[in-house]
Amino acid sequence: MHLIRSRLFARHGFMGVFTTRLGGVSQPPVDSLNFAVQPFDSPEHVAENLALLKRTVPLPRDPLRTRQVHGVTMLSCHRASDPCQHEADALLTDEPDLPLAVQTADCLPILLADPGTGIVAAVHAGWRGTAGNILGRVAEHMLSLGAEAGCMLASMGPCIGPCCFGIDEGTAERLRGCAPDGNRAVRRDNDAWYVDLVALNRRQLLALGVQDSHIETLNTCTSCHPRLFFSHRRDRGRTGRHLAIVARLANP
């Protein structure tokens, strides 16, 4: 199993993990560490992949997940929550040992943590979520609960890069306006526009006072690395889903 672990989070007593496609039991086209049953996998394979993950990462329990709909809604979670039927693209909790996860296959997964309050959040930001500033909304909510912008940590996982994420002019226009200096994250190449989701989401955090040195990015393109990552665009939808998981550990 090949995982990407956040060193930034580990240094502050949090767990931040991004899975790759390597190390699971699922069969093509979702080989092999896939975490979404629909539409190409079986519940048994996904459950086995989760069991394998739990043997590799000290997860205190199964991560809470929602039904993601490319919206900007966030869900506050507690130990007794069962959010799997809730439509939301971000999860947040202040409880220790309660892992939260979002699933992606090109969209940008972002994990947030605030050392002072212990609040953690997992955010799913594709172009729609980015255009709607879902990350800024979640971070602002954390600030309203007592988090400090100057201390907040962010880890951005694998997503489709500006090399491969072509969009139409209308989408480019919406994304230019979603962050300060947003036009610098959108590039035109003849009749196509290419967007840098990481740059836009980074700017949304910086605008709230989050320190640049507290934002960890991977800057690796899911579409460019078929051996390592699922990519919805590259594989025209016939692909699996990675997980991005965050938790505050009671005993790190």
Nearer residue to Zn ion within complex by CB, 51 or 163: 163
Q: From the list 113, 149, 199, 221, which residue makes contact with Zn ion (rule: CB under 5 A)?
A: 221
Confirm or reject binding of residue 223 to Zn ion (CB under 5 A). yes
**DSSP assignment letter at 62:** P
Distance between CA 124 and CA 19 in Å, rounded?
14
2-6's contacts with Cβ under 8 Å and 24+ in sequence apart are 2/228, 3/56, 3/57, 4/157, 4/158, 4/218, 6/111, 6/155, 6/216
Residues in contact with Zn ion, counted by CB under 5 A, come to a total of 6
Cα–Cα nearest to 197, from 189, 187, 211:
187
Q: Binding to Zn ion (CB under 5 A): which residues in 158-197?
A: 161, 163-164
Q: Binding to Zn ion (CB under 5 A): which residues in 104-163?
A: 161, 163
Q: Which stretch binds Zn ion (CB under 5 A): 53-61, 108-116, 209-217, 218-226?
A: 218-226
Distance of closest approach, residue 163 Cβ to Zn ion, in angstroms: 4
Q: Which stretch binds Zn ion (CB under 5 A): 14-22, 38-46, 204-212, 219-227?
A: 219-227
Q: From the list 1, 22, 57, 224, which residue makes contact with Zn ion (rule: CB under 5 A)?
A: 224
Nearer residue to Zn ion within complex by CB, 81 or 220: 220
Q: Which amino acid is at 222?
A: T
Going from the C-alpha of 135 to that of each of 43, 80, 164, 239, the distances in angstroms are 30, 25, 22, 25
Q: What pairing do the DSSP bridges indicate for beta strands 186-189 and 100-104?
A: unpaired
Distance of closest approach, residue 68 Cβ to Zn ion, in angstroms: 22
Residues near Zn ion (CB under 5 A) are: 161, 163-164, 221, 223-224
